[in-house]
């Protein structure tokens, strides 16, 4: 679901009003009637990896909501002052405790309904030993045939995995732009 609308100005605390700003903008924005600050609401970036070891990928069983107990790729919200690659690496370390070498960007998944953009990088695992963090019940390697497809937490992860295994079979990895509407 989309985040709650902005209610108060981050600059002065006055209740905002939603209107089209007088600066030539064409969309309604949260505008402070006192200090005239325009507050923009932008999508959140989710960053993660497709960690692979031979013909298998690493999935993490979620220990948090949403989708508690479902399987996902290691991923989470990007933090301020980090690149997408740094965020993907951080999330992979935090959720899977994996040792890996980050490879290229693999998928960009737009999910406008919830105001998110998901970016997944390929990651070559350097070990098949994992030390999952508190957000993960279990980290496990799966071949394509072993993946619990009905237990995948998010469609963004399923779509990314489908393209990963298709590219792997083709012997060449591409960058995939996916829209989930």
* pLDDT tens column, 103-157: 999 999 999 999 999 999 999 999 999 999 999 999 999 999 999 999 999 999 9
Residues 7-28 have a mean pLDDT of 94
Cβ contacts of 17-25, under 8 Å, gap ≥ 24:
none
Whole-number pLDDT of residue 37: 96
Q: Are strands 56-62 and 71-72 parallel, antiparallel or unpaired?
A: antiparallel
Report pTM. Answer: 0.91
SS3 83: coil
Position 3 pLDDT exceeds 90 = no
Number of Cβ within a 10 Å radius of residue 83? 10
Q: In the prediction, which pLDDT does 4 show?
A: 72
Please tell me the predicted confidence (pLDDT) of residue 150.
Answer: 98
For residues 59-71, average pLDDT: 98
30: β partners: 18, 39
Q: Residues, the chain, total?
A: 181
Task: Report the chain's mean pLDDT, rounded to a whole number.
Answer: 96
How does DSSP classify residue 107?
Answer: E
User: Which CA distances in Å does 36 have to 20, 21, 41, 54, 175?
Assistant: 12, 9, 16, 56, 41
Give me 36's structure tokens.
């005239």
- Whole-number Å distance between alpha carbons of 139 and 90: 16
Q: What is the predicted pLDDT for the residue at 125?
A: 98
Q: What are the Cα distances from residue 5, in Å, to 32, 34, 101?
A: 13, 18, 39
Residue 42 CB-half CA count within 13 A: 5
Sign of CA dihedral 37, 43, 44, 47: negative
Structural domains present in the chain: 1-41 (2.20.70.10), 44-179 (3.90.79.10)
Structure tokens at 130: 């994992």
- Per-residue pLDDT reduced to its tens digit, 152-180: 999 999 999 999 999 999 999 999 999 99
Q: Which residue has the tokens 């509407």?
A: 181
Position 96 scores a pLDDT of: 98
Q: Where are the beta strands (DSSP E) in 112-154?
A: 116-125, 136-143
């Amino acid at each position: 679901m989309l985040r709650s609308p902005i209610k108060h100005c981050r600059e002065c605390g006055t209740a905002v009003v939603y209107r089209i700003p007088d600066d030539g903008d064409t969309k309604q924005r949260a505008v402070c009637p006192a200090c005239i600050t325009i507050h923009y609401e932008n999508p959140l970036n989710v960053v993660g990896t497709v960690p692979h070891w031979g013909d298998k990928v690493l999935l993490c069983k979620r220990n948090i909501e949403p989708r508690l107990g479902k399987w996902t790729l290691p991923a989470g919200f990007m933090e301020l002052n980090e690149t997408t690659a740094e965020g993907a690496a951080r999330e992979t370390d935090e959720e899977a405790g994996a040792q890996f070498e980050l490879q290229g960007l693999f998928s960009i998944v737009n999910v406008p309904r919830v105001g998110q953009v998901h970016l997944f990088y390929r990651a070559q695992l350097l070990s098949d030993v994992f030390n999952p963090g508190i957000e993960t019940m279990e980290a496990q390697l799966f071949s394509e045939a072993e993946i619990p497809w009905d237990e995948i937490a998010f469609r963004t992860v399923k779509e990314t995995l489908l393209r990963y295994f298709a590219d792997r079979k083709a012997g060449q990895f591409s960058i995939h732009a996916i829209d989930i509407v």
